Structure 1
Amino acid sequence: MNSAPEYWPAPPPKGWTADDLDHLPSDRPDGEPDFFEHVELIDGTLVFRAPQQRLHQRLVHELTACLDSQAPAQLSVLHRMDVKLGHRTRPCPDVAVIDAEAAADMARTFYEAREAHLVIEIVSPESVERDRKLKPQRYAEAGIPHFWRVEENEGRPVVYVYERDPATGSYGLTGIHHRLLTMSVPFQIEIDLDSLVK
């Protein structure tokens, strides 16, 4: 059996960049399909996401549907699409609200930070450090105005809502939502959180 490092592609001479993600092979060297399908680039490092739990998948699907049904015409809600934050950082938020004009281009593989209004990360056991600390910092630095972190508490979602302070360039916590989430930004939103997992 081959060791894991044999499956990793060699980095380019100057290291990985955000644009390199469009040129990774689809399969790993031993033929396993879609090996590089769920990879992100954080500060020049390739991050492979672990298989998601059913709860995680359901929250992604239901949050996308709820937000999409309430979003104004100029915004679109997408799941699992990359957002390019800089030359060496291209994460793939679980859910993102972006300009509808950008979403209309079906050839896009990523969106620019300036096209994103809200990004949402649903925390899983393997992503706690990234979702709580690293990604919010990078999203804020790139100028994305709103960030939500979704965590699980006894099988139910809890949503931590952040808004970017333009004076400091960092996020401030504006609320922790259990059971019901009601927001006026980035548009009018009302979500029965308990219903997301029923």
Structure 2
Amino acid sequence: MEPEPEAPEARWAVPPVGGWTADDLDRLPNLPPHTELIDGSLVFVSPQSLFHSRAVTFFEWQLQSFVPDDLEVIREFTIDIDESNRPEPDVVVVCGNAVQNLQQCRFPAESVLLAIEVVSPESKTRDRETKPLKYARVKIPHFWRVENHGDRAVVYTFELEPATGVYTSTGIFHDRMKVSVPFSVDLDLTAITARRRAAGQ
């Protein structure tokens, strides 16, 4: 009986000296979907929870009805921070002129008005600490963080304080989110549920 052939060893791309660059995300073959670049390192996304999927879809579609006509709402799209950082917020609101064509796969940070991160267990440190610092450094005016507390969405909102260049907390929202900046929004956060509601419920 012939021995079974050995499974091929996984081949991982070896980073160059100094780490990967933002342009490498477009050139490296076979990267998993939604790979990010943080401080020159590739960050792979873990399997998505239903809460994460529901929350991202909720904000993507709900914000469409609130944004002014000169803004665009896009989900899961990378933004250029610098050569070593190209994160992918879960939802971004960008200036309409940043949308050039259907082939583009990134936005310049200066076009971003609002970045939203939906926190997963494996992304807590990045979403709570690493990414907000980088978003503030490139002067993204607004940042929202969405977390799952007992299967209910809680949204933490932040605005860039121009004198210090850091984010200042502007609110914590549990069931209803009503804000006037960066544009007027009134959201029923209880709609982010595991099961769709029947009409009239």
Q: Using structure 2 for the length normalisation, give the TM-score.
A: 0.89
**Match 2:110 to one of 100, 114, 136:** 114
Tell me by how many angstroms 1:92 deviates. Answer: 0.3
Letter in 1 for 2:134: R
Identify the residue that residue 15 of structure 1 maps to in structure 2. 19
2:12 and 2:156 map into 1 onto residues whose CA distance is 35
**Match 2:69 to one of 60, 70, 73:** 73
Q: Max radius of gyration: which structure?
A: 2
Correspondences of 1:148-187 after superposition (within 5 Å)? 148-187=144-183
1:75-123 CA-partner distances (Å, limit 9, x unpaired): 0100000011111100000000001121252221100110000000000
2:117 and 2:8 map into 1 onto residues whose CA distance is 33
Identify the residue that residue 121 of structure 2 maps to in structure 1. 125
Letter in 2 for 1:169: G
Structure 1 runs not aligned, ≥5 long:
28-34
RMSD across aligned C-alpha pairs, in angstroms? 1.3
Aligned residues of 1:162 and 1:172 also touching (Cα < 8 A) = yes
Letter in 1 for 2:40: G
Identify the residue that residue 199 of structure 2 maps to in structure 1. none
Structure 2 runs not aligned, ≥5 long:
1-6, 197-201
Q: Give the number of equivalent residue pairs.
A: 188
* Percent of aligned positions that are identical: 44
Identify the residue that residue 189 of structure 1 maps to in structure 2. 185
Q: If each structure's helix is expressed as a fraction of its own residues, which one has the higher value?
A: 1
2:59 and 2:36 map into 1 onto residues whose CA distance is 21
Tell me by how many angstroms 1:13 deviates. Answer: 4.2
1:184 and 1:194 map into 2 onto residues whose CA distance is 20
Identify the residue that residue 31 of structure 1 maps to in structure 2. none
Aligned residues of 1:63 and 1:196 also touching (Cα < 8 A) = no
Q: Using structure 1 for the length normalisation, give the TM-score.
A: 0.90
Identify the residue that residue 45 of structure 2 maps to in structure 1. 49
User: Runs in 1 of length 4+ with deviation above 6 angstroms?
Assistant: none
Aligned residues of 2:18 and 2:40 also touching (Cα < 8 A) = no
Aligned residues of 1:75 and 1:100 also touching (Cα < 8 A) = yes
1:39 and 1:195 map into 2 onto residues whose CA distance is 29
